[in-house]
Structure 1
């Protein structure tokens, strides 16, 4: 079964941080832990909302895919209270929220489907057949398209979110895993874990226009707010490749922790947070210098991440400890640990109207 990648056992900012996480340890052998908890409950004191500004934006809800429970948990970001547990397909792995916050799309890896959640009712309103072993979902900034990476059919399904039907299938590299859409919507970047490269898709033609060699076992992927840089975690070479999107070449390689699987970029673009599933840490990268400026201990097997719209918090899915760590980006410390369902593999944050 595919989970995020790890040797031990997946954005700039929209909802999940615009970039990801490879639940590849969701491809990793580290789905060895038997989860102890089934719902999200806070293990720390309940704080006030992250900031007054973020609170005014609407109700922020963190959606967490629980791989072995076949559910998605919905947590109120301000109170850490679980407000719903939503049954989805088999082995939910990656998920993303629509820009308007009304829908969450969930890739069900063992079912070959995508579940569509209505965030107003927290119920599944559609189930869409896609390729073999769908690992991740990324929604365009206009909300009109959802792109799904299918690991074992080596392609990307393109979903029309109005009709919730697949309108195109794009062949890419072997072992397609995480993907991200550029801010302007013209490009999709997809990591191919088995071939060590990133495919660049032209969304106008739904064809691959470039293939970029990166590190070993590329997994999580994120794009800067201006779309000029793509950050790719390489789970087997323990580093992050930085791609210049103007030239589609790697311009820097950043050593991080063991088995990096997930990456998100803050809305301001100044920091990238990398989940290291083998060392149970999050590396904080200064994107101006492309150097690690902090290392934060989190739970076991961090594989999925999301950053709040205001950039004040990062939510981390700790797959092997069945927890979600909440990082304060001002201090780069964990301020809360939440219990999750069985094998939490990804997080997306929706600002629900």
Structure 2
């Protein structure tokens, strides 16, 4: 993993950041007379796939040539996507659907209903299960990617879930309950896939929107969009054990080796924070950085 790819929703571009020298290269996916709005991103073979908010498409980028190879119309307001067995699973926020796209044959093969305004998706490759965070219905959808059918809906305690990810074994789901617009902190909800119920919550900062997990140390890092911080969670004792102030509006978050990489949606920068030394470096990237992936 030598690069971070970042969706710059406001400038219709992808930032390719080299982790060795912490320098950025811009990959433009701008369309003449049309906004694109890249929002969600993931890797597939020697490509990067991008879910585009504004023109309802999925872009396919060649990471060797650093350019867009093609794009496909998917559905209204594509928010996020993941890959399972050469199929892209793309959540469409305005049609409330999960669209399944055959990457080999270049066509949509199925649509599965979700909750209201699905915002993110994660897939456990070991179990073949997907989880979708539905912002407006305050729940998560569990989907079987082997049979391509919906299994269950898990109701959450908080409001406006933004990101849901599986535990390493696929038995639990950790969801950012952002509570956006409310005068209270957000929480990370931990739910059992088997029982379909929430089993614990951990309070974070204001409006948690993204989460990355270091399972070897049972730690999670959560970006809090409205107070400029990152919550550090101990998943063994189910508590927030630290809060790192970065400023701005932290959005996408990833951990690689000793550093956190956090996009600032307000200042249009990427933070690199050394969790052992407690210092940070920043570089300027595109406007409104959102989804991020390591490749």
Scaled by the length of structure 2, the TM-score of the pair is 0.81
* Whole-angstrom CA distance in 1 between matches of 2:233 and 2:163: 15
| Larger RCO, structures 1/2 (Cα 8 Å, 6+ apart) | 1
Q: Among residues 293, 300, 303, which one is paired with 2:290 in the alignment?
A: 303
* Whole-angstrom CA distance in 2 between matches of 1:82 and 1:230: 33
- Does 1:275 pair with 2:263? yes
Q: Residues 91 and 227 from structure 1, CA distance in 2 versus in 1: closer, same or farther, beyond 3 angstroms?
A: farther
Q: Residues 122 and 243 from structure 1, CA distance in 2 versus in 1: closer, same or farther, beyond 3 angstroms?
A: farther
The two structures, once aligned, show a CA RMSD in angstroms of: 2.7
CA contact (8 A) 1:111 1:133 kept: yes
* Whole-angstrom CA distance in 1 between matches of 2:134 and 2:161: 6
CA contact (8 A) 1:149 1:177 kept: yes
* 1:137 counterpart residue number: 121
* 1:113 counterpart residue number: 97
Q: Among residues 171, 174, 178, which one is paired with 1:193 in the alignment?
A: 178
- Does 1:294 pair with 2:281? yes
- Does 1:86 pair with 2:72? yes
* 1:330 counterpart residue number: none
SS at match of 2:216: coil
The Cα of 1:292 is off from its aligned counterpart by 4.0
Superposed, 1:12-161 pairs within 5 Å as 42=27, 59-98=45-84, 100=85, 102-161=86-145
Q: Which moves more between the two structures, 253-262 or 148-157?
A: 253-262
SS at match of 1:131: coil
* 1:234 counterpart residue number: 224
* 2:272 counterpart residue number: 284
- Cα deviation digits, residues 151-208 of structure 1 (max 9, x gap): 1100000000012111010001210111211222222111011161111112232221
* Whole-angstrom CA distance in 1 between matches of 2:89 and 2:151: 16
CA contact (8 A) 2:127 2:170 kept: no
The Cα of 1:118 is off from its aligned counterpart by 2.0
SS at match of 2:76: coil
CA contact (8 A) 1:257 1:283 kept: no
- Cα deviation digits, residues 198-231 of structure 1 (max 9, x gap): 1111223222111111000110111125261111
CA contact (8 A) 1:283 1:292 kept: no
The Cα of 1:274 is off from its aligned counterpart by 0.6
* Whole-angstrom CA distance in 2 between matches of 1:244 and 1:209: 16
List alignment gaps of at least 5 residues for structure 2.
14-25, 29-43, 180-184
- Cα deviation digits, residues 13-57 of structure 1 (max 9, x gap): 8x999xxx9x9x9xxxxx8x6969xxxx946xxxxxxxxxxxxxx
CA contact (8 A) 2:11 2:288 kept: no
* Whole-angstrom CA distance in 2 between matches of 1:228 and 1:214: 16
CA contact (8 A) 2:11 2:286 kept: no
